[in-house]
Structure 1
Amino acid sequence: MSERTVLDGNAVEAEERVGGVEPEPERADDPGRRPRWPRVLGALLTVALVATGGVLFAQGQQLRDTPATANLALTDTEATTRVTGDVSNALGRIFSYGPEATALAKDAAQQVLAGKALRQYAALFGQVEKQAADQKLTLTTHVVRAGVTRLTGTSAHLLVFLDQVYERRGRPATTASAQLSVTAELRDGRWRIVEISST
């Protein structure tokens, strides 16, 4: 049964006692009891921060792994200068010879060429030696400009512009220009040309 009690002029509904024990109302200001919502909110914030960090890390990794950032020709001036110098020097040595000095170019090719480039050069060099001897031909090659278009730790691709001066005995010298596409690889600490093609 319920009975109405009037306290200080306000009507309060008293609940029926069950088993003679009246339940004790929960008090928010109980010092031994903490609300759960701060812990739940803290856990949600932690999950959100971890997820955001993972997404940002993945995006940063993608930016670092783009072809542009992998191309050292855009970021490593010292390596770019070195490969440009090595390739330019090599081309000047293998494409410069005289009627009595073709052996120097042939020896240089063994040192600075490898792979496909060395095989092509060896196949053509017999004709070069004959032509130089028959026509008393001297060829001098100068690299006018070389640009590295792609560079990694072990390989490079370059565009090279050459001036070649042909001198035949008894005739005036003539100059011709050439443009080459060159691929080089770093082998045993030295850049060696592995492919050459005209462009």
Structure 2
Amino acid sequence: MSEPTALVSRDTEDEEPIDAAEPDRADEPPRRRWPRVVGALLALALLATGGVLFAEGRELRDTPATANLALTDAEATTRVTGDVSNALGRIFSYGPDATALTKDAARQVLAGKALQQYATLFGQVEKQAADQKLTLTTHVVRAGVTRLTGTGAHLLVFLDQVYERRGRPATTASAQLSVTAELRDERWRIVEISSI
């Protein structure tokens, strides 16, 4: 039997030894390098997108709408609505013999410009109430807070007022007010009232 002949002949003297631990990347074909390049570009794109989204999110959080507690704090909104509604009911309700109670209530719940305006107006009303035996009863139908901060609020208020004069049928009228209130000594006080 003859010895098997080698199918492939190699010249071992001309070959350099191959080190499997350190592949030569410069000699890599372009097909093997491009996934790394694409991965690096994708990572950069994701970082840039994340930065832009973070900046946009911050702008959204810092808008005047998010600073308006009327949109985010139901408890504070309910409190200011209740305090202002009760105050308006007290200062716009009186009888011919009970105007002093109404004036005292006004001093407790009004301040600043609203108190000055009310004092001027109520001087005239007090005389009419006594002369005409006029009774006015005011009910807040609806009040909505349009702006609320930690110390200030703006409300739109809808009222029903019932006028009664001795010997005449009662008359009902509606009114709409724009009201500004401030939190002073942990109580909401009305500082400005204007009719709409």
1:157 aligns with 2:126: no
SS of equivalent residue, structure 1 residue 126: helix
Q: How many Å separate the matches in 1 of 2:115 and 2:47?
A: 55
Q: How many Å separate the matches in 2 of 1:50 and 1:114?
A: 54
Moved more, 95-104 or 53-62: 53-62
**Deviations along 1:155-196, whole A, 9 cap, x unmatched?**
111111101011111111111111111111111111111111
1:76 aligns with 2:76: no
Match among 120, 123, 148 for residue 120 of structure 2: 123
Q: What count of residue pairs does the alignment treat as equivalent?
A: 177
Match among 88, 93, 97 for residue 94 of structure 2: 97
CA RMSD of aligned residues (A): 3.3
**Deviations along 1:121-171, whole A, 9 cap, x unmatched?**
011111011011111111100001111111111111111110101111111
1:195 is aligned to 192
SS of equivalent residue, structure 2 residue 94: coil
Specify which structure has the higher proportion of helix.
Answer: 2
Q: How many Å separate the matches in 2 of 1:165 and 1:62?
A: 48
2:177 is aligned to 180
Moved more, 70-79 or 97-106: 70-79
SS of equivalent residue, structure 1 residue 179: strand
Q: Normalising to structure 1: TM-score of the pair? A: 0.74
Q: How many Å separate the matches in 2 of 1:88 and 1:191?
A: 11
2:166 is aligned to 169
Distance 1:172 1:69, change over 3 A: same
- Listed as ranges, the gaps of 5+ residues in structure 1 are 1-7, 13-27, 32-43
SS of equivalent residue, structure 1 residue 197: strand
Moved more, 166-175 or 47-56: 47-56
Q: How many Å separate the matches in 1 of 2:152 and 2:58?
A: 23
* Aligned-partner residue type, residue 142 of structure 1: H
User: What's the CA shift for 1:46?
Assistant: 10
Match among 119, 122, 141 for residue 144 of structure 1: 141
